[in-house]
Amino acid sequence: MKMLINVPETVVADALRGMAACHPELIVDVENRVIVRRDAPVEGKVGLVSGGGSGHEPLHGGFVGSGMLDAACPGEVFTSPVPDQMVRAAAAVDSGKGVLFIIKNYTGDVLNFDMAAELAEDEGIQVAKVLVNDDVAVTDSLYTAGRRGTGATLFVEKIAGAAAAEGAPLERVESIARRVNELSRSFGVALSPCSTPSKGGPTFELPAGELELGVGIHGEPGRERRAMMTSHEIADYAVQVVVEDLRPESPVLLLVNGMGATPQLELYGFAAEVHRALGERQVAVARTLVGNYVTSLDMAGASITLCQVDEDLLRLWDAPVRTAGLRWGA
């Protein structure tokens, strides 16, 4: 498996050096693996911190900037960051108004963020936590007790980030983040496995002519394998399970997310089918975002995330954001 890397051991550090070189608006601590917006702490603002294993870029480092995260902590590929990174991040972004940890539901991440919250509070930083667990595919899978956190993380980080940018206090930023998670559901499919640098090849086998329905963002098994389906059929399947679980009663935000290696030409064709399938189920779409946002290295495939929104959440979604991976109005 050929990769555009030096050696597997330095992949994360090399990417962080790249972030530093390309984004002068960020402070990237390559040694301690913390990415912080340069103007942090922002006076009077709640700080938002997230993080997780690397390999899902632009999540999370690419979402650091005004209107979204204040800091991100990248772990090794598909491996939780450690509490020390999270405490450093919290200290760097706390203006005295407290810090919200946004945690995808994987056992290692949850344990480490819990420990970091205790350590940060020992240092006098007020910490709230929100767990993202939007993936309807399975419960209690590899790495996770309960549902996995996937695409909804982007919605939580963007919308809670906008609330914080408006000056909302910690309690409200936390409750909005929690609400966005509760109103969000995701489902993903893989057409190919992903390859980690350390392994140097695919992390799982996916036979020719089959796809994995309900795959996780580390290639964890989903609900079932089937003979390859059309974009139309995949959209019907994914939309059906997500809508059945969410039962949206107002318009939704829709993320049509590429897993990393699926061409944008295919992704937009899939987006057309997702819109059709939602329309057939009387689900109105307020906004659609299409692209590679919550990825799994070089996996081919896609996921959809719906987030039911009211006017206030939609306004926060539309608010200006300025990060490497998501930017508008600023």
Positions marked active-site: 56, 218
- Of 18 and 167, which CB lies nearer to a second copy in the complex structure? 18
Q: Is the peptide bond before 56 cis (omega within 30 degrees of 0)?
A: no
Spatial separation of the C-alpha atoms in residues 102 and 48, rounded to whole Å: 7
Identify the CA nearest to 52 among candidates 212, 217, 176. 217
CA 248 to chain CA centroid, nearest Å: 21
- The binder of a second copy chosen from 123, 145, 268, 284 (CB under 8 A): 268
- The binder of a second copy chosen from 295, 303, 305, 308 (CB under 8 A): 295
- The binder of a second copy chosen from 12, 35, 93, 283 (CB under 8 A): 12
27-28-33 Cα angle (round to 5): 140
- The binder of a second copy chosen from 47, 51, 58, 214 (CB under 8 A): 58
- Of 221 and 291, which CB lies nearer to a second copy in the complex structure? 291
Cβ–Cβ < 8 Å for 74, 16 = yes
Smallest gap from Cβ 124 to a second copy, in A, equals 34
The answer to whether residue 211 forms part of the interface with a second copy (CB under 8 A) is yes
The answer to whether residue 225 forms part of the interface with a second copy (CB under 8 A) is no
Q: In the chain, how many H helices and how many E strands? A: 8, 17
Smallest gap from Cβ 8 to a second copy, in A, equals 11
Strand residue runs (E) in the chain: 26-29, 34-37, 47-54, 65-66, 71-77, 99-104, 127-132, 184-190, 195-196, 201-202, 210-213, 224-227, 252-258, 285-291, 301-308, 321-323, 327-328
Q: Any idea what DSSP says for residue 311?
A: H
Q: Look up residue 147 and give its two tokens.
A: 């549902």
End-to-end CA distance of the chain: 39
Identify the CA nearest to 129 among candidates 64, 35, 47. 47
| Span near a second copy by CB under 8 A; candidates 101-109, 122-130, 141-149, 230-238 | 230-238
- The binder of a second copy chosen from 34, 37, 46, 54 (CB under 8 A): 54
Neighbours of 291 (CB within 10 A): 16
Q: Look up residue 311 and give its two tokens.
A: 């006017």
- Of 41 and 260, which CB lies nearer to a second copy in the complex structure? 260
Smallest gap from Cβ 3 to a second copy, in A, equals 6
The answer to whether residue 8 forms part of the interface with a second copy (CB under 8 A) is no
107-146 positions binding a second copy, by CB under 8 A = none
The answer to whether residue 198 forms part of the interface with a second copy (CB under 8 A) is no
CA 171 to chain CA centroid, nearest Å: 22
If you count them, how many residues does the chain have?
Answer: 330
- Of 191 and 309, which CB lies nearer to a second copy in the complex structure? 191
Smallest gap from Cβ 228 to a second copy, in A, equals 5
| Span near a second copy by CB under 8 A; candidates 98-106, 208-216, 243-251, 306-314 | 208-216
- The binder of a second copy chosen from 25, 84, 166, 298 (CB under 8 A): 298
The answer to whether residue 329 forms part of the interface with a second copy (CB under 8 A) is yes
The answer to whether residue 186 forms part of the interface with a second copy (CB under 8 A) is no
The answer to whether residue 262 forms part of the interface with a second copy (CB under 8 A) is yes
Spatial separation of the C-alpha atoms in residues 26 and 326, rounded to whole Å: 14
Q: State the residues that interact with a second copy by CB under 8 A.
A: 2-7, 10-12, 14-23, 54-55, 57-58, 62, 77, 191-192, 208-209, 211, 228, 230-232, 234, 256, 260-273, 275, 285, 288, 290, 292, 295, 297-298, 300-302, 322, 324, 327-330
